[in-house]
Amino acid sequence: MRLSINAVIAIFSLYFQSVNAQSEQIITEDFKPSAVNQPERIFPKVNSQRRVRASISAPNASKVQLDIGGVKYDMRKDDKGVWTGESNPQDEGFHYYQLNIDGASVPDPGSLYFYGAGRLGSGIEIPSSDQDFFALKNVPHGLVSENIYFSKLTNSFRRCFVYTPESYNENTKMRYPVLYLQHGSFEDETGWSAQGKANLILDNLIASKKAVPMIIVMDNGYAYKAQESNSSDKNPKESVFEDVLITEVIPMIDAKFRTIPKRENRAIAGLSMGANQTMRIMMNHLDTFAYYGGFSGTANYPNSDAIDASTFLNGKYKDGNALNKQIKLFWLGLGTKEPAPFPKSIGAFRTMLEQQGIKYDYYESPETAHEWLTWRRCLHQFASKLFK
Amino acid sequence: MRLSINAVIAIFSLYFQSVNAQSEQIITEDFKPSAVNQPERIFPKVNSQRRVRASISAPNASKVQLDIGGVKYDMRKDDKGVWTGESNPQDEGFHYYQLNIDGASVPDPGSLYFYGAGRLGSGIEIPSSDQDFFALKNVPHGLVSENIYFSKLTNSFRRCFVYTPESYNENTKMRYPVLYLQHGSFEDETGWSAQGKANLILDNLIASKKAVPMIIVMDNGYAYKAQESNSSDKNPKESVFEDVLITEVIPMIDAKFRTIPKRENRAIAGLSMGANQTMRIMMNHLDTFAYYGGFSGTANYPNSDAIDASTFLNGKYKDGNALNKQIKLFWLGLGTKEPAPFPKSIGAFRTMLEQQGIKYDYYESPETAHEWLTWRRCLHQFASKLFK
């Protein structure tokens, strides 16, 4: 068979088109099980392109999808009824995800589960270049304690997790400063130790003497005033988290743990919704806290307009000189890939701080969005500057 | 239309047949959300017949089942694509379960997740008549601490959970006895505090002065000797849990916590596989422990043959008089509905104890099988007799 030159060109052209189209699709076969899989589970896996490969047996399903990063990827069925599929490359760090089986959104039976997006669901860990700072290493490890308490303000049992550094149990006379550390919206008090790895970050910082040993208290930022029994259910829920923290949690922690119960030895920080909450609490209680950390959030959220310091938060930022004397550290952090409104909203807040002459530290997490690697990095940076 | 008397009888007869057949199926509509649901989740629910009703949106599925107690119950689809279905009445207490969507076995997105059957999966709580003993009540609550350690024997990071009673943090001079408490097969170190409610059981016992304040250590019963790097992977895994517990965990606990490090102040207990393991450890280390609890398991499992005390466990039960002097409490428990081989196997073990004149306590949990309500009740009974 002889081909005309045009035919040859046409074939080559098709070939290269195909390669080009496929090059985005070529999947490097170096997948390894995710670091947050259930014991001995092989799937989900992650490869060097940071693609996620999930797999589940669903022999009678007609459609199974991997749902991650807001995109649903169709999975393929083999002759044994096992479905497998891959995502596009993901950002480094931790992501929530789920599987969708014939329309049902369910956790992947292969992964560990984390509370986020208002539910316990699957999580996956994409290895990051700097993951050593939150790795489980052979250094002295502190304890993370589940602490159940009854809140009179909410008329309910609540729970906080408390990190105590390794030396806490060794030296029973030493007293410690405390960081109050809050999760984001639709997350809970488990987030900072489970997906946030706050305990491992502090274990590593303390072992390398980059942070002073401290206690960390991680409470639940959702707290609503107990309804009168005869009140209408139509009343909107009234958040009392600030009061719970100030009048119930802090006194309890100062009584139960060997803290240094002074403002110079207390910090408060949070991520996203928690940054907004803790910024308000900080400014209302400068007699209680001397250090503030806002990770991916400020109290003007979701607004990006210029802030008038004379009215914003009842004028709490009016007197920059006074704040600079009272606040030992005002720290803000943000991921470089965060979506709107975070960059502009936090930008507007920084402009206000600068106009008021208020000193602050600012950190950007490279190549991360509104997700946990941003916040792990923020905690790592922030904690190293506390109580010094 | 007029009916013959025969036709009327035939119709009545059909009617009563139908009622009789249906009477087993009549479902009482008093379902309430399970106590171990995720926050604000309505399903799964339980009714006064102890039936479980599950529900999940799966609009494109062709078959969805509720899989509980070894039975798969078909669920029904409504016009919105939501599937709902009920189980037959279940035993009181805690059960693992899952949903099956077109052949895929997955956790129910409505429930909390518990590690059992070798995976994190759904759990449901059927209210029990005696649930007050493990209820979350407004009494002083101890802490449950996650304790990470590196094991040289396994060359891996391991984890145990440690319950410290409420007074532990108040009175920093008091020292406490310790109960080492083990889970069953395909469970892990989270079981006793999550589905076992060991912390709440002890909080309640201690608050009512029915148990002395004690520390409880809950480790992982799976521990395998580190393989030499040049050894064949074909070598069977060698369990070193006994050595890990005796030479790594106990010294660590005695160093990290204010224990009374004496045999008279140490107890060891376990459920099922954990009962078997801890019984062997107890008998090999009577210099370390003075109290033993075996919940739904003994070291002759799965055998039900008569036991020859001269050879069983290397003759450890030969000298009944000596054991009666050394062992302060030898305690066994079993559920009345446990399946083979447990009743006969434990029966054969009890016969041996009686033949050897060895004193022991024996408890039967009414109407429960090889499940967590049996073990919660066992712990409740056993802990009240310790260190007195």
Nearest-CA distance A277 → chain B (Å): 21
> Confidence class of residue A3 from pLDDT cuts 50, 70 and 90?
very low
Amino acid type, A139: V
Burial A312-331 (b: 16+ CB within 10 A, else e): beeebbeebeebeeebbbbb
* CATH ID of B28-127, from 1.10.10.10, 2.60.40.10, 3.40.50.720, 3.40.1160.10: 2.60.40.10
- How many C-beta atoms lie closer than 10 Å to residue B277's C-beta? 23
- Token pair for B24: 């087993």
Q: What is the mean pLDDT of residues A254-281?
A: 98
pLDDT surpasses 60 at A273: yes
Cα–Cα distance measured from residue A193 to residue A129, given in angstroms and rounded to the nearest whole number: 21
> What does DSSP assign to residue B111?
B
Q: Do residues B71 and A73 make contact, with C-beta atoms less than 8 angstroms apart? A: no
Percent residues over pLDDT 70 in chain A: 92
- Beta-carbon separation of B103 and A56 below 8 A: no
- List the single residue in A58, A104, A157 with the smallest CB-CB distance to B103: A58
- List the single residue in B58, B143, B145 with the smallest CB-CB distance to A103: B58
pLDDT surpasses 80 at A68: yes
Q: Do residues A168 and A213 make contact, with C-beta atoms less than 8 angstroms apart? A: yes
The CATH code that applies to domain A132-383 is 3.40.50.1820
pLDDT surpasses 80 at A113: yes
- Beta-carbon separation of A61 and B64 below 8 A: no
Sequence-distant (≥ 6) Cβ neighbours of residue A298 within 8 angstroms: A275, A276, A279, A332, A345, A346, A349
Q: For an interface test with B, which of A60, A79, A157 has the most B Cβ atoms less than 10 Å from its Cβ?
A: A60
Strand (E) or helix (H) holding A294:
strand A291-295
Q: What is the pLDDT of residues A202-221, one digit of tens each?
A: 999 999 999 999 999 999 99
What is the DSSP pairing of strand A361-365 with strand B32-33? unpaired
Low pLDDT (below 50) residues in chain B:
1-3, 8-9, 11-23
Q: How far is CA B337 from CA A139, B273, B343, in A?
A: 47, 18, 9
Q: Do residues A328 and A388 make contact, with C-beta atoms less than 8 angstroms apart? A: no
Which residue from B306, B386, B316 is spatially nearest to B358, judged by alpha carbons? B316
Alpha helices in B152-196 (DSSP H): 167-170, 191-194
pLDDT surpasses 50 at A18: no
Alpha carbon B122 to its chain centroid, in Å, reads 15
Place of tokens 């969005």: A369
Cα–Cα distance measured from residue B78 to residue B59, given in angstroms and rounded to the nearest whole number: 9
- How high is the mean pLDDT of chain A? 93
Residues in chain A: 388
pLDDT surpasses 50 at A20: no
* Domain ranges, ordered by start, for chain B: 28-127, 132-228+236-383
The CATH code that applies to domain B132-228+236-383 is 3.40.50.1820
Per-residue confidence (pLDDT) for residue B322, from 0 to 100? 98
Sequence-distant (≥ 6) Cβ neighbours of residue B16 within 8 angstroms: none
Cα–Cα distance measured from residue A291 to residue A314, given in angstroms and rounded to the nearest whole number: 20
Q: Between residues A21 and A76, which one has the greater pLDDT? A: A76
Provide Rg for chain B, Cα atoms. 25
Window 107-166 of B: residues touching A by CB (8 A cutoff) are: 107, 109, 112-113, 119-121, 136, 138, 141, 143-150, 157, 162
Per-residue confidence (pLDDT) for residue B185, from 0 to 100? 97
Q: What is the pLDDT of residues A288-307, one digit of tens each?
A: 999 999 999 999 999 999 99
Residues of A in contact with B141 (CB under 8 A): 147-149
For residue B114, what is the nearest residue in chain A, using CA coordinates? A113
Per-residue confidence (pLDDT) for residue A5, from 0 to 100? 52
Phi, psi of B146 (to 5 degrees): -85, 125
- How many C-beta atoms lie closer than 10 Å to residue B362's C-beta? 12
Q: Do residues B180 and B269 make contact, with C-beta atoms less than 8 angstroms apart? A: yes
- Token pair for A127: 């290895």
Sequence-distant (≥ 6) Cβ neighbours of residue B216 within 8 angstroms: B162, B163, B178, B179, B180, B181, B192, B198, B199, B202
Which residue from B155, B158, B151, B91 is spatially nearest to B126, judged by alpha carbons? B91
